[in-house]
């Protein structure tokens, strides 16, 4: 096995473990010697991998994103960079800043040939869209989603009518010409997705208590809801 592939496999073997794992156990799983494990762990730590532990005790990979030199195909490089350029166009200030940092980090660990490809990409996103001004910051909505906080929204519909809704926020959707809050609506007792709760029409919001259950379960329910909507037949129109 090539060294780069072995280092990646070592990281994958350690990822997700809640307790330290010994070099002997890692050596058995990777079919190498313990001496090789000690050397590879030291190399990964020198490259910035968040590994803690010591010989004779065991090692654990702490939470945190670590990018070793990336072995990506040309198409994979294009896909990643095109996605980041879309974020740069459609994201808010927080996501645009994060995309710029991610692009710099990824570019720093790409091999020279891939770096040259990134500097002269084959693909470009479409023309940048324009978004209406938000009365409420997306960062406030993002914080509520992460904290699983119920929101009391004052919402203005497309006709200017005002409604009050209590929503369990799940995700933010970035459409071509609008940004939307997807979540569970207590009034409708159903998920509201891309046709409601445009962020530029949220006039005001009040944070309430934490909603019951887990956001991960709500996210799965939201995906199932969207899949069901996508599978519905499109109504036919009469021929004029």
Is residue 127 in some structural domain?
no
Q: What is the pLDDT of residues 138-183, one digit of tens each?
A: 999 999 999 999 999 999 988 889 999 999 999 999 888 889 999 9
- On whether both 149 and 191 belong to a single domain, the answer is yes
Percentage of the chain with pLDDT > 70? 91
Number of domains in the chain: 3
- On whether both 40 and 110 belong to a single domain, the answer is no
What mean pLDDT value characterizes the chain?
Answer: 84
- On whether both 155 and 191 belong to a single domain, the answer is yes
Res 67 pLDDT > 70: no
Instruction: Decide if 111 contacts 156 (C-beta within 8 A).
Output: no
Q: Which pair of tokens denotes residue 118?
A: 């990134």
pLDDT at position 235 is 55
pTM: 0.65
Res 65 pLDDT > 70: no
- On whether both 79 and 54 belong to a single domain, the answer is no
- On whether both 177 and 218 belong to a single domain, the answer is yes
Res 5 pLDDT > 80: no
* Residue in this structure with the two tokens 């599978």, named with its chain if needed: 231
Is residue 124 in some structural domain?
no
Is residue 130 in some structural domain?
no
- More confident: 233 or 35: 35
Residue 210 belongs to what H/E stretch?
strand 202-210
pLDDT at position 12 is 79
- On whether both 148 and 224 belong to a single domain, the answer is yes
- On whether both 11 and 54 belong to a single domain, the answer is yes
pLDDT at position 238 is 47
Is residue 68 in some structural domain?
no
Tell me how far apart the alpha carbons of residues 93 and 76 are, in angstroms, rounded to a whole number: 26
**Please, which residues have CB within 8 angstroms of residue 208's CB and are 6 or more apart in sequence?**
149, 150, 151, 152, 166
Domain assignment of residue 88, given as a range: 74-119
Instruction: Decide if 20 contacts 60 (C-beta within 8 A).
Output: yes
Q: What is the pLDDT of residues 191-213, one digit of tens each?
A: 998 777 999 999 999 999 999 98
Q: If you write DSSP's letter for every residue of 148-173 in order, what string do you get?
A: TEEEEEEEE-TTS-EEEEEEEEEEEE
Q: Which pair of tokens denotes residue 5?
A: 């592939």
User: What distance separates the 2 farthest-apart alpha carbons in the chain?
Assistant: 80
> What sign has the CA pseudo-torsion 31, 33, 39, 42?
positive
Res 105 pLDDT > 50: yes
CATH number of residue 215's parent domain? 2.30.30
Res 84 pLDDT > 60: yes
- On whether both 165 and 227 belong to a single domain, the answer is yes
Instruction: Give the mean pLDDT of 229-235.
Output: 72
């Amino acid at each position: 096995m090539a060294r780069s592939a072995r280092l990646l496999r070592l990281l994958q073997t350690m990822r997700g473990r809640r307790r330290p794992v010994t070099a002997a156990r890692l050596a058995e799983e990777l079919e190498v010697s313990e001496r090789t494990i000690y050397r590879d762990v030291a190399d990964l730590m020198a490259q910035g991998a968040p590994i803690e532990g010591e010989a004779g005790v065991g090692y654990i990979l702490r939470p945190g994103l670590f990018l070793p030199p990336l072995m990506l195909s040309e198409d994979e490089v294009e896909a990643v960079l095109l996605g980041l350029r879309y974020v740069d166009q459609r994201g808010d200030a927080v996501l645009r800043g994060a995309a710029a940092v991610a692009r710099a980090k990824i570019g720093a660990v790409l091999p020279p040939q891939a770096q040259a490809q990134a500097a002269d990409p084959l693909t470009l996103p479409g023309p940048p869209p324009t978004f209406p001004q938000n009365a409420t910051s997306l960062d406030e909505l993002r914080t509520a989603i992460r904290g699983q906080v119920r929101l009391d929204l004052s919402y203005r519909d497309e006709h200017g009518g005002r409604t009050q809704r209590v929503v369990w926020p799940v995700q933010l959707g970035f459409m071509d010409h609008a940004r939307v809050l997807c979540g569970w609506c207590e009034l409708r007792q159903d998920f509201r997705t891309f046709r409601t709760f445009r962020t530029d029409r949220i006039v005001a919001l009040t944070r309430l208590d934490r909603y019951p259950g887990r956001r991960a379960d709500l996210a799965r329910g939201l995906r199932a809801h969207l899949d069901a909507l996508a599978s519905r037949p499109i109504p036919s129109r009469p021929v004029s």
